[in-house]
Structure 1
């Protein structure tokens, strides 16, 4: 294995081994989850004006969300955090553990909300602020559905750096995951730039590779490290110390 195999063109995404959402002309199906009807209505009005997106259902709590994901199999869930019956973090964890191809976007009030990181660790693919601009919301759903990029990489990076810095050992030493030894040099380099929020096209440009080759590297990284998607790569890179938090004065 030389790390330079071509994309096999089998219709899978760049690493998760599941069909690419949006690979056909079908719109991205979205489930709205929030305990406030007015917020659900607002998101529905925004999304229903976009031909590439279809709102297939709504839920008012996490338990209902888990049930509707099983029944509707949406491509993307917009998931609130604080809800009755079952919160959004546990609902996300159950959806991911259930093996669904559905990707979850956590909705938060503050960009450094501790629940946002908990959501990423639970398996969410991204997080957004509830006051997100309509165009950004639509683009975020499309990005997450495609599996190509982490939403708001700078905000995600800041969130992760703050969390990791707060959990850092006093002696500054990190424990290295033995699984990292299974990565080739190029795969390690790709992992590091994924953690910076680079997309496949940006990685290809940086390393003078084709996007098909980048997809192959990403797929192998996810397989070797037992990770679900790109955002899990970002979390993993920070938690294992592969990526060191930058100067806090940013």
Structure 2
């Protein structure tokens, strides 16, 4: 059983996460806090394995809370759950002592996987941020210039859209892609529609042919 402390200043978000996690028999939410000061106070009297913590909180935010928490309660792991996706925030939280970083728009399957990974003493970075940082690190741009009536039409694909495109080319269904990327089927359907709209491909077959011709997939 993994004991979890939820730390977020929005009550409705904590209620939602608690409800989602309650479906997992191996995860137990043992407390809630609206800021870092409350987190530290709860840890004085409650046994916790993982603190699922937002970055932006009043009184004492995540940046200030994590170093103090790690010093006073070194056995407790911190998993950041936030909407802040810039690599600066990610690096600062890891430097502060967090062991994982996941976005609030991630699927519950990815969040629970992250909790278990961090609880086991391993680091975790959500798929969306990991891919974004990877593409920036290698300074790779993903631009398709399809032709319509002989004129090039520029359309830039995001890192996630390019990944979805590659999986489509492998013959995977929307459901299979959603399972692989730890996201919802509806999100994958949206990515597929955006890719087709950006490239102005008439159908999936035309899209794959175009991507191959541009060297985006093999």
Inter-partner Cα distance in structure 1 for 2:123 and 2:99? 9
Name the structure 2 match of 1:140.
114
Inter-partner Cα distance in structure 1 for 2:136 and 2:64? 22
| 1:66 aligns to 2:66 (yes or no) | no
Runs of 5+ unmatched residues, structure 2: 140-218
Match of 1:51 among 19, 25, 30: 25
Name the structure 2 match of 1:37.
11
**Over aligned residues, Cα RMSD in angstroms?**
2.3
8 Å contact from structure 2 (residues 63, 96) kept in 1: yes
User: Secondary structure in 2 aligned to 1:114?
Assistant: helix
Sort the Cα spacing of 1:72 and 1:43 in 2 relative to 1 into closer, same or farther, 3 A: same
| 1:104 aligns to 2:104 (yes or no) | no
1:100 deviation in Å? 2.5
Name the structure 1 match of 2:61.
87
- Note the alpha carbon deviations across 1:84-106, whole angstroms, 9 max, x for none: 11001111111011143110011
Name the structure 2 match of 1:77.
51
TM-score normalised by L of structure 2: 0.57
8 Å contact from structure 2 (residues 99, 123) kept in 1: no
**Higher RCO structure, 1 or 2 (CA under 8 Å, sep 6+):** 1
TM-score normalised by L of structure 1: 0.50
User: Secondary structure in 1 aligned to 2:59?
Assistant: coil
Sort the Cα spacing of 1:154 and 1:84 in 2 relative to 1 into closer, same or farther, 3 A: closer
1:68 deviation in Å? 1.2
Inter-partner Cα distance in structure 1 for 2:69 and 2:134? 23
Which structure would you say has the larger Rg? 2
Inter-partner Cα distance in structure 1 for 2:35 and 2:124? 25
Runs of 5+ unmatched residues, structure 1: 1-26, 166-250
Sort the Cα spacing of 1:58 and 1:141 in 2 relative to 1 into closer, same or farther, 3 A: same
- Note the alpha carbon deviations across 1:157-193, whole angstroms, 9 max, x for none: 7548969x9xxxxxxxxxxxxxxxxxxxxxxxxxxxx
Inter-partner Cα distance in structure 1 for 2:135 and 2:69? 26
1:115 deviation in Å? 2.2
Q: What is the count of residue pairs matched by the alignment?
A: 138
- Note the alpha carbon deviations across 1:27-59, whole angstroms, 9 max, x for none: 100000000000000110011110010000000
Inter-partner Cα distance in structure 2 for 1:148 and 1:76? 12
User: Secondary structure in 1 aligned to 2:48?
Assistant: coil
Q: How does 1:18-29 map to 2 (within 5 A)?
A: 27-29=1-3
1:73 deviation in Å? 2.8
